[in-house]
Amino acid sequence: MENLFIGLMSGTSVDSIDSALVNIDRGSFELLESSSSSIKKNLKKRIFEAVNSADISKVEIEELDVDLGRAFGKAANRLIQKASLNNRDISAIGSHGQTIKHAPNTIKPYSLQIGKPEEITRVTKIKTVADFRTADIQAGGQGAPLAPLFHKFIFKKNKLSEGVIINIGGICNLTYLNNLNEDIIAYDCGPGNCLIDAWNRSNNNGEFDEEGSWASSGKFIPKLLEVMLRDPFFSQQPPKSTGTDYFNLSWVKQNVSNCKSVFSPEDIQATLTELTAQVIFKELKNLKAQKKRIYICGGGIHNTFLINRLEGIIENNIFSTSLLGIDPDFLEASCFAWLAHQRLDRKKFDLSKVTGSQGRVLLGEVWEVS
């Protein structure tokens, strides 16, 4: 049982804590069990307030760090119980944490993830690997995305020479892989579900637009879409990364205001969905990859309206990463279980073509059980 690892992930949509139990043995990889744990309403509210606040107190961050760390630990324990295992069976936990602020391009670059690793080890009594972004940022990189390293491993495991993996979480990131000559191109494209979800919540339509039904009731607004696409992030050359502290409800309202027109809420929702589709298409086109095999993971795969629209624009079929042996809802959690294994093996990575860092970087810090 010494090859069992747990990955924990709470994405920018803050919809749940995803937990993945994996078996890693001599290059093989198997997702054995998974679960999603809901985040309590009040904790979720505090997380969104922290993400959107320009001046959050150090005390509140520290309290959130502990509270979310405890929630992560409990989520891991639930997964272990679901798998009918003992905590002693698990080699380590890899926890991405919850991103609050992501500012890799400032004078003092940083990326803040909360979910205190000490609290995870206290609750689970399992060694925990976390803080995966800091070392990359210190080496001059963006600190994200890191999942492309795992995407490359999955492609090799499936003996695939070329293809694209698109993760449509709160933020959308893209990985283009060509293992024949070891090329890897990966970066954040822009908003995935974050703006769609934020607008849905602000109009009291629930946490997300189920299957894109609300967006499908409206029509996208070309003028508003054009204004949104002028954002400098979309023309920025990779390596690049972003977060929901940038693409959020305030960003939507500012762009709507810039149009100096009145639009119906459902038309704005349709436009936000179109924005996500167009941003993905733009990057695929730039890479000349729109006709390659495209695999989707993340919550966006359940937005039927978005996926159908994207297939229509690129004129190509889109597939789920389940065809690669990884549940699309748990690919990122699986990734951090895998990264925890790599860290314990002291494997260093060259992320120069992904994040822009220099040299080979050891990702993550280890918290031992006290």
How far is Cα 236 from Cα 87, in angstroms, rounded to an integer? 45
Q: Whole-model pTM?
A: 0.93
pLDDT in tens, 286-316: 999 999 999 999 999 999 999 999 999 999 9
pLDDT of residue 1: 47
- Per-position b or e across 305-322, b if 16+ CB within 10 A of its CB: bbbebbeebbeeebebbe
- pLDDT band at 180, cuts 50/70/90? low
- Given a cut of 90, is residue 177 above it in pLDDT? no
Tens of pLDDT, residue by residue over 225-262, are 999 999 999 999 999 999 988 999 999 999 999 999 99
Whether residue 274 contacts residue 229, with contact meaning beta carbons closer than 8 Å, is answered with: no
Domain parsing of the chain, residue ranges: 4-143+359-367, 159-324
CA separation (Å) from 205 to 16, 190, 266? 18, 23, 11
Q: Topology of domain 159-324, per CATH? A: Nucleotidyltransferase; domain 5 (3.30.420)
Rounded to whole angstroms, what are the CA distances from 190 to 48, 171, 231, 344?
Answer: 18, 6, 10, 32
Distance CA 278, CA 157 (A): 31
Q: Contact 117/367 with Cβ under 8 angstroms?
A: yes
Q: Give me the phi and psi of 55, to 5 degrees please.
A: -145, 70
The confidence band for 113, taking pLDDT boundaries of 50, 70 and 90, is very high
Task: Give the CA distances from residue 276 to residues 58, 103, 136, 194, in Å, rounded to whole numbers and listed in that order.
Answer: 34, 22, 27, 10
Cα(193)–Cα(197) distance, integer angstroms: 6
Alpha-carbon distance 270 to 236, whole Å?
25
Domain boundaries 4-143+359-367, corresponding CATH code: 3.30.420.40
Query: CA-CA distances (angstroms) from residue 289 to 73, 178, 293, 296, 319?
Result: 40, 11, 8, 14, 14
Domains 4-143+359-367 and 159-324 share a fold: yes
Which tokens in the block code for residue 42?
């009040």
